[in-house]
Structure 1
Amino acid sequence: MTMLAKAECTMPESYSIIGHTLVGANKVLENYLARTNLLAKSAIAKLRLL
């Protein structure tokens, strides 16, 4: 999931690849998504575009 997030895949794209439902994908995210500096910086950059 971390690699998919780094690739900026949407949630529907991500759970289509990993084969989970939306609910299952969210559970996977809660447990396995590494909260990296790169992802945080990407989110901040997107907020600044608003």
Structure 2
Amino acid sequence: TQWESEEAFQAWASGPAIAAHAGERANPVSTGASLLEFEVVLAVARTDSQA
């Protein structure tokens, strides 16, 4: 998030809107990780053996 000025940020930080961000932290969606790989083909050229 970007504020227009330092004053705008300070007004938000000291105002009631910050209360929406002060609740309990949610549990993580996942605790494990797995790597998925995808190969993206952008172009395919025809070779002589495909004729």
Both proteins in one fold, TM over 0.5: no
Name which one, 1 or 2, has greater alpha-carbon Rg.
Answer: 2
Q: Which structure carries more relative contact order (alpha carbon 8 Å, separation 6+)?
A: 1
